[in-house]
Structure 1
Amino acid sequence: TEIFDGFSKTVSKCKFIPVVCGSSLENGGISNLLEIIAKSFPSYISKKHFKAISKQDNKEMQIEISENGNFCGFCFKTVLDQFNGKLSFIRVLNGEIKKDDEVLIVEKNNKFKVTKILQPFGNKIEEMEKGVTGDIIVLQKLDDISTTYTIGSKDISYTYAFDKLPQPVYSVAISAKDKNTEDKLISTLHKFSEEDPTLIVKYDPETKQNVISGMGELHLEVYFSKIRKQLKLEFETSIPRINYKETITKQVESRYKHKKQSGGHGQYGEVAIRVSPNKRGEGFKFVNSIVGGVIPKQYIPGVEKGLIEGLNNGVLGKFPIIDIIVELFDGSYHEVDSSEMSFKIAARQALKDAMTKGDPILLEPIMNLSVYAMDKYTGDIISDLNGKRGKILGMDPIPGGLTLIKAEVPHSELLRYATDLKSITQGTASFELEFSHYSPITGKLAEQVIEERKKFITAEEEE
């Protein structure tokens, strides 16, 4: 008894981690594992409190665990079953949930009525009357609930503070070989992402690609294999295109007059704009400096709309334009022929002219990279990052003979970094990525990007 008591206390404090050897295929050691869990691991109720995030001020708070408290549950898993539909696995964190209860989905502020409470037993699911604190229950066919969502009684105003999910580090663009099956392919991938929150599927409107992201090459290949075997769908994968941008480097002025006469009312609108570089990351800013009514107020929104439309296509490679300030300072109108559309067209053309005169440059996305690796590999990792145009920000020792390497690296150099790092460290290192900022790219690299972009646009127009 003393051994089990001490074992339980040290395990609950994470000072002792038991290792049990066995085989799930041969069913060896499974009963021993379950016995250790049942006898020695602390129950959920022994925690006394759980962490939550307040909906009012977004601050962390402690919620006392009580079987008599307000019901709160956390969806930790989603399964899409071909016979039972969508199954949401819920850990009951507080209180109890019964059939016919009205329950709130906290993140969406939506309510639903509980029609059936299920409990999983191996590969079977049995119905039960209620779920109490500490139980794992299953709710069926609830489209509004996703993994990591909090549900509860109408009185709760917090979400469960779950551990941060790892960010995907490996991405590929995917497309069906037969365009008629494209929708089915993407729909299937979205279903997989409901079950696995570390699998991200999204359409990038700038590169016009469906991009699937995960924790590594093997992670994605598991789902690709399912699609090939279960759905018999043929598809292609490729390296995703990078979201480059354009901007200007000096202040310029541009004037454009849109004038068209084709019977009846014509079209007339003239704008004069002053375009200046904005601070990096500040985006687009429109300034209306019109005085004396040279352009009537009702046409100013048309000018702004034309400028916003013009931001979609730069002059170097038709990449989106960012980080500019556009000041409308002069123009003219016609009593009969002017319209919002006329000023919209004039503004769009004036911006295009200004971009041409403003010494435009190409911008590439720069990522913050954090690499966790064994000390003996740091030299090779840094050498590799230097070869990828990376900027090393620092190195910090962390427990366990590991080093955290922080760097800024162009996104285009990291599209296959999961594979590169695995090769350098024999699969022992890990890394995290997040967007940092956009930075100018010049010379042969910029020329190569623009040339590839022109080929892509030409091919798209031919289709």
Structure 2
Amino acid sequence: MAEKNSGNAVGAAGRAPAADRADAIRNVVLVGHSGAGKTTLVEQLLAATGTIQRPGRVEDGNTVSDFDEVEVRQQRSVNLAVAPLTHKGIKINLIDTPGYADFVGDLRAGLRAADAALFVVSASDGIDGLTQMLWEECSQVGMPRAVVITKIDHQRANFEEVLATCQEIFGDGVAPLYLPVITNGHVNGLIGLLTQKFYNYATGARTEKEPGADYGAQIEEHRGGLIEGIIQESEDESLMERYLEGEPIDVKVLIEDLEKAVERGSFYPVVCSGLGVGTHEVLEVITQGFPSPLEHPMPEITDLSGKPVRDVTCDPDGPLVAEVVKTTSDPYVGRISLVRVFSGTLRPDMTVHVSGHGLADRGHEDHDVDERIGTLSCPLGKQQRPIPKGVAGDIVAVAKLARAETGDTLSDVERPLLMTSWTMPDPLLPVAIRARSKADEDKLAQALSRLVAEDPTLRLENNAETKQLVLWCMGEAHTDVLLDRLSKRYGVEVERIDLRVPLRETFGGRCQAMGRNVKQTGGHGQYAICHIEVEPLPSGGGFEFVDKIVGGVVPRQFIPSVEKGVRAQMERGVVAGYPMVDVRVTLYDGKAHSVDSSDMAFQIAGQLALKEAASKVPTLLLEPVDELSVLVADDYVGSVMSDLSSRRGRVLGTEPVGTGRTLVRAEVPELEITRYAIDLRSMSHGTGAFTRSFLRYEPLPPNLANKMAAAG
């Protein structure tokens, strides 16, 4: 691939790569399932460019990307991490993302910060559902992509099979640029299909020679498809006609058209990578095929009133617009914000305006404040290497942003702006926790506030009804990481407890009851008698209080007191301690005393009347029912519908959505879906997604009602 303008970025081991111009920057996110080899590829590229001495371990015994304490203990990536390097004068910000669906929030943040994506596919494991879904997301926004098939030196590797899978799942435009040369199970090098050269890595250094006649048929088979794919994307309409007539096409012309097609997101080259093989080829695709920030569309920007702003471009001299794509905090180091600069230039110690991100429903407060930032640095693992500035297009780490959280916009104080936030998935797994001790309870609130600031996919709920603290998480792995951080990072020990679903009570029939509050203890006593009739209302009917007092048997000033007492008792419940709903209470008779009757006396009488009514007719426990919309691949529709029925759900219907997917709509009791986020992922092999919304309350089946009443 031909070289592009190299700019003046510099970088070497021990120094921070820097860039003064956006055209000398490439922001690339690595996407793929856990174990595909994303972190290993990042470290090989860092070593190949001299950014680190060797792949694998750096200072403190931590890898370059997996340096978080949880990642070190669990040996898996759970965070977004940026690793900067330079190649031929181009600064490349490699954005390593987690491969677990539970951490899709970090993955989407990586997509927001990037201008192109490397889809990393293991030659031994293939493609999972999450990777396929993210490819489709990138297609919708036209993000340039390339595929790196890793682990081609693995004993179970099958390059041809995985390549065919990529072409089948990712669709048209996926074609290999290189073929691996494997001898006795060892990868010696790659054959360039356009140049028809053998790039030998056997000695450790990359050398070039002729491939030999043994590979002629294989080269011809793949080369023809590659050339045809490039020509189809060419802006030169005469090229296809010349090719079909047998005219040889100059390799330089093909490479130029290939680069343009990759840059505009219509052609997706496939590159191989193994131990010590393919790093040069991956770097060439990134620097020569992927676009710079100048060529990537700017996210939607508004002023603080919501009016669109269209005069902001990727210009270092333009107004400052930057976004916090990741927030990390440490009890000792403090808060570090990873920031993508979209416009303007960020400098140490400058004052910026922090604008909120609209996630207040998840416990993330909206912001509209000015803050003075600290030092700027270029992150690499735990190392923070100071830099003098961050120009438009670059990604930098910012210290001392005490108020800014993930998703916030940083802009000029004189011209505050707000970037439209990226799509963030809803956390749908509720986990109830409590502190193990009084000391832990005292520290829990502050520790949780820090976790919430870091993670926009976490929602914190203090349920006033059930008196439980609930973490809404993305899945079991997400929960484990959060609790691990509470324990190891903040020294707060918590334990999981059974989640309580808020139920309701109602009357199962009509009856009359009396509330009698008559007490004489010397001096003013209490005297209030009220007769009420209770009857159930239809679901969603709420509460009605009807006054049918005639003749003044209950003085007018005490009728609201009876209603107040009834409402108070309904709030506390009459059977299992759950609020009562859908009831009409009619006050039709009563007695009062000229001296001993009072507001409080009639409130108590109203409460007693409701309790007596509950002893005369059956009371029902009501459970909340949610409306579920489940989006799943067609192959799993039957399993999903059967599972919903087993959860006492009612399937309302299905409808096709796009190609190969179906939306299943159902009504399901909340008691049955507290762990549905985990179960659906298992059923659909990671391809399913769902939304839920409260619909109504319905009576619990008698067997469950008895169990709940006993527990309450």
Q: TM range, normalised to the smaller chain? A: 0.7 to 0.9
Tell me the equivalent position of 2:452: 193
- Segment of structure 1 superposing worse, 397-406 or 273-282: 273-282
**Matches of residues 267-306 of structure 1 in structure 2 within 5 Å?**
267-268=526-527, 277=536, 280-281=539-540, 283-284=542-543, 306=565
SS in 2 for 1:322: coil
Q: What residue is the counterpart of 1:458 in the other structure?
A: none
Q: Which has the larger radius of gyration?
A: 2
CA-CA distance at 1:126 after TM superposition: 5.1
1:459 alignment partner in structure 2:
none
The answer to whether residue 364 in structure 2 is matched with residue 114 in structure 1 is no
How far is the alpha carbon of 1:109 from its aligned partner?
Answer: 5.6
SS at match of 1:312: helix
1:244 to 496, 503, 508: 503
Instruction: Give the 5 Å matches for 1:325-364.
Output: 337=596, 340-354=599-613, 359-364=618-623
- Residue 453 (structure 2) pairs with residue 203 (structure 1): no
RMSD: 4.2
Instruction: Check the 8 A contact 1:315/1:356 in 2, yes or no.
Output: no
- 8 Å Cα contact 1:366-1:408 kept in structure 2: yes
> Equivalents in 2 of 1:55, 1:280: separation in Å?
42
Deviation per CA, 1:11-62: give whole Å up to 9, x if none.
5654445566658xx8986776565444433344434542257865x7x956
110 and 62 in structure 1: CA distance in 2 versus 1, 3 angstrom threshold = closer
Do the aligned partners of 1:49 and 1:64 also contact (CA within 8 Å) in 2? no
The aligned residue for residue 315 of structure 1 is 574
Which residue number in structure 1 is paired with residue 675 of structure 2?
416
- Structure 1 residues 375-407: Cα deviation after superposition (integer angstroms, max 9, x where no partner): 333223322222221211222334453333332
Q: For the Cα contact (< 8 Å) 1:70–1:153, is it kept in 2? A: yes
- Structure 2 residue aligned with 1:366: 625
Shift of 1:80: 0.6
Give the structure with the higher percent strand: 1
Classify 1:84/1:288 alpha carbon distance in 2 versus 1 (closer, same or farther; 3 Å): farther
Task: Report the counterpart of residue 65 of structure 1 in structure 2.
Answer: 312
TM-score (normalised: structure 2): 0.53
Q: CA deviation at 1:408?
A: 1.9
The 1:291/1:11 distance shift into structure 2, 3 A limit, reads: farther
Asked if 2 retains the 8 angstrom alpha-carbon contact of 1:48 and 1:65, the reply is no
How big is the shift at 1:78? 1.3
What residue identity is the alignment partner of 1:136?
Answer: I
Of 144-153 and 315-324, deviating more is 144-153
Match of 2:151 in 1: none
Aligned counterpart, 1:74: 323
1:337-389 CA distance string (max 9 Å, x none): 55554444344334444555565322112233333433333223322222221
Equivalents in 2 of 1:261, 1:295: separation in Å? 20
- What is the CA–CA distance in structure 2 between the aligned matches of 1:289 and 1:54, rounded to whole Å? 57
> Where in structure 2 are the equivalents of 1:178-189 lying within 5 Å?
178=437, 180-184=439-443, 187-189=446-448
Mapping for residues 68-147 of structure 1, pairs under 5 Å: 71-95=320-344, 99-101=349-351, 103-106=353-356, 108=366, 110-116=368-374, 118-122=376-380, 123-125=382-384, 131-147=390-406
Confirm or deny: 8 A CA contact 2:378 2:387 kept in the other structure.
no
**Structure 2 counterparts to residues 12-27 of structure 1, below 5 A:** 14-17=265-268
Equivalence for 2:425: 166
* Alpha carbons 2:367, 2:404 under 8 Å: kept: no
Residue aligned with 1:377, SS:
helix
Structure 2: which amino acid aligns with 1:256? G
| Deviation (angstroms), 1:137 | 4.3
TM, length-normalised to structure 1: 0.76
CA contact (8 A) 1:295 1:331 kept: no
Worse overlay, 274-283 or 377-386: 274-283
Stretch moving more, 211-220 or 201-210: 201-210
Q: Is 1:432 aligned to 2:681, yes or no?
A: no
Cα distance, 1:138 vs. partner? 4.2
Contiguous gaps of at least 5 residues in structure 1: 454-463
In structure 2, what is the Cα distance between the partners aligned to 1:295 and 1:327? 16
> 2:293 touches 2:393 (CA, 8 Å); kept in 1?
yes
Distance 1:34 1:330, change over 3 A: farther
Unaligned 5+ runs, structure 2: 3-252, 359-365
Matched residues, number: 447
- What displacement does 1:79 show? 0.5
CA-CA distance at 1:74 after TM superposition: 3.0
Which amino acid letter does the alignment assign opposite residue 333 of structure 2?
A: N
